[in-house]
Amino acid sequence: MTREKSDCVLEMRDVYASYGPFAALQGVTLAVEHGEIAALVGPHGGGKSAALKAICGLLPVSSGDILFEGERVNGLPVEKLASKGIAYVDERRLIFASMSVMDNLLLGAYSRRRRTADAALRQDIQTVLKLFPILGERQRQSAGTLSGGEKQMLTIGRAFMSAPRLLLLDCPSLRLAPILVKRVMSAIAELRDHGITTILVEQNVKAVSHIADHGYFMEKGRVIARGSPADLLSRSNGARLVS
């Protein structure tokens, strides 16, 4: 693997990728520094989720480079990227429905349990329960019985338990009530304090305007605007970002 000097946690350099004959990414370039929250915003089908899948290895890159902490990671298998500290949370909120909330959280730490002290794992559990108190109340409950918002909190909490350095969140506010959107976004912002860099996908820039450092407006597989959420809203295409 090629090691390059970089201050960025994640860089995409002129990345192209396709779903069969469909061009999902067409020359995407972006950079995210340590501790930042970057939002990929724009209409459905614009390439936002495809960008996350390319980063975590679920979508093969046909050309261009993806660098994680300065290392070119194109072509590495999903499990290798996960072991390097990249955690992906799917928009489908995949959980082990028949298992308890606590067991789901503990499974999130499976890959690190042999090298991590029990005290550290317990501390991480307490951090998750502080971020999402409702999970503490539901910890013995079957995960499949949780509400949509609670499942979203569980998937984020389970990703945190893997000790990620880069967290990829696909549509964390999808189908959530406004009050739950605020709660989830607030928790995502708090993850900065734990050294986690986050890239999240949203269709509506207002949902992330108070937590994101940078926004990338994507359409037809390309980044066509970038800047702070306020910058994006002030541009001529701002109306499409809040539809």
| Segment 176-194, tens digit of pLDDT | 788 888 888 888 998 888 8
Q: Please tell me the predicted confidence (pLDDT) of residue 241.
A: 54
- With bands split at pLDDT 50, 70 and 90, how would you rate the model's confidence at 156? very high
Which residue did the predictor score with more confidence, 159 or 206? 159
The lowest-confidence range among 36-40, 83-87, 123-127, 234-238 is: 234-238
> CA–CA separation, 47 vs 223, rounded Å?
9
Average pLDDT for residues 114-126, to the nearest whole number? 80
In terms of Cα–Cα distance, which of 200, 179, 203, 178 is closest to 189?
200
Average pLDDT for residues 62-76, to the nearest whole number? 95
3-state secondary structure of 215: strand
Q: Please tell me the predicted confidence (pLDDT) of residue 4.
A: 45
Q: Please tell me the predicted confidence (pLDDT) of residue 5.
A: 43
Compute CA 175 distance to the chain's CA centroid, rounded to the nearest angstrom: 17
Using the predicted structure, report yes or no on whether residue 236 has a pLDDT greater than 70.
no
Neighbour tally for 60: CB within 10 Å: 12
End-to-end CA, the chain: 42
Which residue did the predictor score with more confidence, 100 or 119? 100
Q: Please tell me the predicted confidence (pLDDT) of residue 6.
A: 54
Q: Which residues contact 76 (CB under 8 A, 6 or more apart)?
A: 57, 84
For the structural domain made of 8-93+165-241, what CATH number should be given? 3.40.50.300
Helix 148-160 and helix 118-131, axial crossing angle in degrees, nearest 10: 150
In terms of Cα–Cα distance, which of 217, 236, 192 is closest to 51?
217
Which residue did the predictor score with more confidence, 117 or 200? 200
